[in-house]
Chains A and B, each alone.
Chain A
Amino acid sequence: MTTLVAPQRSADVATPRRPVAARLAWLGVAGAALLLAAAASVAFGSRVVSLHEIVTAFTGTEDGIGQAAVLGRLPRTILALLVGATLGLAGTVLQAITRNPLADPQVLGITSGASLFVVAGIAFVGLASPMAYIWVAIAGSALAATFVYTVGSLGRGGPTPLKLALAGAATSAAFNALISAILLPRIEVMDDFRFWEIGGVGGATYDKLTLVAPFLAVGTLICVVSARGLNALALGDDVAAGLGERVVRTRLLAAAGAFILCGAATAVTGPIGFVGLVVPHACRLLVGVDHRWLLPFSALVGATLLTVADVAGRLVARPSEVEVGIVTALIGAPFFIAIVRRLKVRAL
């Protein structure tokens, strides 16, 4: 993982810092990609609309099927962008605080914790308001992540990527069994859950967006504030403490931000995996390891990736669609395997 050598001043050591111009250029590219993805998300679907129709829909000069389709796709696009940014951010933060290249909301079992809590809330407490779903999902995320991290840290060697991934898989399996234990006698809940269980942005409405936006804003703010602390954590806990970083506080704060993001996103869209895994790796290649750059960048790339995945899901099965959670798993899991194959055995 990130066993950093103390920086030396000798000439043959390459500086890990990338020139600001290059980073800005990449930022521009990512921004452009984001706009393209958003435009594609509005344009493509079971009916393809022209650029002209998109423009007229926004300026409100004409009423037609094309314009209606554009306006109908708008909340969905916004939700995909927001949730993608959220998952990208959360993944980067999770990989930083666990110092684990395989960390991801789904791999760590966080999304299954959110699912379990929401289902239990609906079944036992009669939870009905979407706002309550969000709070319960955040609580579930935090609990599941803490649980997985503790199980994964047991034994020799602390929380290695291998043990965390295994603990996450085992915990997800256990939570899924509990979920089916709750659902089986309650058919009416089960039918809703069958569709929610696969992450999708198809059911987006402006109401949902306004509901979840404050949570995402708070979570993002917390994550961004802790960017500098995350840089210190990358040096290892001892070095970070030696540099004056309050390690436990930084980690808890950043984790709280990530849980709020994951929980809120999962409550609206259902579990979407692997965006949080893929995005940080891609971004580190492009802009380096400084979290002050990495965090905004992974939000941009995450938003682009999820939107593109959503568009792809709509195009491959026209006029029906493939849920975005399935598309991201199909893209992300091979990526996960590729990372595993590249890692040195000792690092696992």
Chain B
Amino acid sequence: MSVDAPMTDVVVAGRVRRAGRWRLIVTVLAVATVVAFGLNLMVGRTFYGPEEVLRVIAGQTVPGASFTVGVLRLPRAVLAVLAGFAFGLAGVTFQTMLRNTLAAPDIIGISSGASAGAVFAILVLKVSSATTASVTAIVVALATAGLIYLLAYKDGVVGTRLILIGIGISAILKSLVSYLIVRAAAWDLQVAMRWLTGSLNGATWSRALPLAVAIAVFTPLLLGQARNLDLLRLGDDTAAALGVRVGRTRLVAILAAVALIAFATAAAGPIAFVAFLCGPIAARIVGPSGSLMIPAALVGALLVLLSDLIGQFAFDARYPVGVVTGALGALYLVFLLARTHRSGGSL
């Protein structure tokens, strides 16, 4: 008994310290996101100071800035935050659930359904309204994910099978997309390409709104499963023994994450590797304690904001944000190689 009391104190103290650290990290990430958001509003062909930007956001009319900041930059930056948030959250959900850093939804083909649906709608069905294309993208993305899930179902869904079947399905979709692209007329192609490389060009409020609603609906759903998902990392059997309803947790997580991916892709295109990168970056910052979901979502928002800045202004040519994040993904793979040479870490 006399030993127990100080032991519990140590445990409790440790828990409090870790929770404090987690809160600190989340605060820092949130502040960094706000700063990056502000930067995206200020920097451009003409620079506007923080004061002017704030006045525009407050609804006052500032000559010049009202249009540039209020109409051009603000929706773009908001869309960047929303898309990054959705991709980051969905990505870390998949990585946690499938216990594999490489198993992000963009790698295993979950988001290929959204691009394929939109390209099909634009090039074959000759859909001209952006809303219809987005709706098609969302429907096809959900259907694709459902198909992958069904094909992976054989005495229950096993993560490994889900991943590989996703890769197979995305190969089919990619070949269909390239078939359509080669035959596309030049003017349709411009529109269709937006669905293949993630881009924030031409962002409008009407494009950001559905994504915002989706995030508001599905984020709480995913966060409610956060604890169960963390337990799934121990393996299906262990998690089940600890009282997790494995099948249900996985189904809810897949549904919510796929919906987030679908809406984000419909709004901004498949911004490459954001879903892939956020989990590992968040894990590195947060360490072993605490949930990764909120930090990963914030890292996603930050990543998209900064990549968009880089893509627009760092080079002679303007690159869509998806190209920048894709290049970052390549760098990350090299980093994985270099690191494991030293320490023999695991994937």
| A interface with B by C-beta (< 8 Å) | 102, 106-107, 147, 150-151, 154-156, 161-163, 165-167, 169-171, 173-178, 180-181, 184-185, 194-195, 197-198, 273-274, 322-323, 325-326, 329-330, 332-334, 336-337, 340-341, 345, 348
CB neighbours (8 Å) of B329 from chain A are 170, 173-174, 177
Contact A166 B106 (CB under 8 A): no
CB neighbours (8 Å) of A151 from chain B are 333, 336-337
- A163 nearest CB neighbor, chain B only: B347
CB neighbours (8 Å) of A326 from chain B are 175-176, 178-179
Contact B330 A178 (CB under 8 A): yes
Contact A162 B160 (CB under 8 A): yes
CB neighbours (8 Å) of A337 from chain B are 151, 164-165, 168-169
- Identify which of B282-290, B297-305, B316-324 touches chain A: B316-324
Contact with A along B92-115 (1 / 0, CB 8 A): 000000001011001110000000
Taking a contact as CB atoms closer than 8 A, the residue among B158, B160, B333 that contacts A174 in the complex is B333
B217 interface residue (CB < 8 Å to A): no
- Write the nearest CB–CB distance from A176 to chain B, whole angstroms: 7
| B interface with A by C-beta (< 8 Å) | 100, 102-103, 106-108, 151, 154, 158, 160-161, 163-165, 167-172, 174-176, 178-179, 181-182, 197, 272-273, 276, 316-317, 319-320, 322-327, 329-330, 333, 336-337, 340, 345-347
A197 to B181, alpha carbons, bound, how many Å? 11
Taking a contact as CB atoms closer than 8 A, the residue among B171, B197, B316, B327 that contacts A273 in the complex is B171
Contact B108 A169 (CB under 8 A): yes
A102 to B161, alpha carbons, bound, how many Å? 12
Contact A330 B323 (CB under 8 A): no
- Given A194-B182, A340-B164, also A184-B158 (CB < 8 A): no
A147 to B113, alpha carbons, bound, how many Å? 28
Contact B347 A340 (CB under 8 A): no
CB neighbours (8 Å) of A156 from chain B are 346
Closest 6 CB pairs of A and B: A177-B326, A329-B175, A174-B330, A155-B346, A185-B317, A166-B102
- Write the nearest CB–CB distance from B151 to chain A, whole angstroms: 6
- Given A173-B107, A329-B172, also A154-B340 (CB < 8 A): yes
Query: Could you list 26 A-B pairs, sorted by A, with CB under 8 Å?
Result: A147-B333, A151-B333, A154-B346, A155-B340, A155-B346, A155-B347, A166-B102, A167-B333, A169-B102, A173-B107, A173-B326, A174-B327, A176-B272, A177-B326, A177-B329, A181-B327, A184-B320, A185-B316, A194-B182, A273-B171, A329-B175, A336-B164, A340-B168, A341-B151, A345-B161, A348-B164
- A182 nearest CB neighbor, chain B only: B323
Contact A170 B165 (CB under 8 A): no
Contact A165 B154 (CB under 8 A): no
CB neighbours (8 Å) of B165 from chain A are 337, 340-341
Contact A173 B181 (CB under 8 A): no
Contact A177 B273 (CB under 8 A): yes
Interface centre among B175, B178, B317 (most CB of A within 10 A): B175
- Write the nearest CB–CB distance from A20 to chain B, whole angstroms: 36
- Write the nearest CB–CB distance from A170 to chain B, whole angstroms: 5
- Given A173-B329, A184-B323, also A154-B107 (CB < 8 A): no
- Write the nearest CB–CB distance from A103 to chain B, whole angstroms: 13
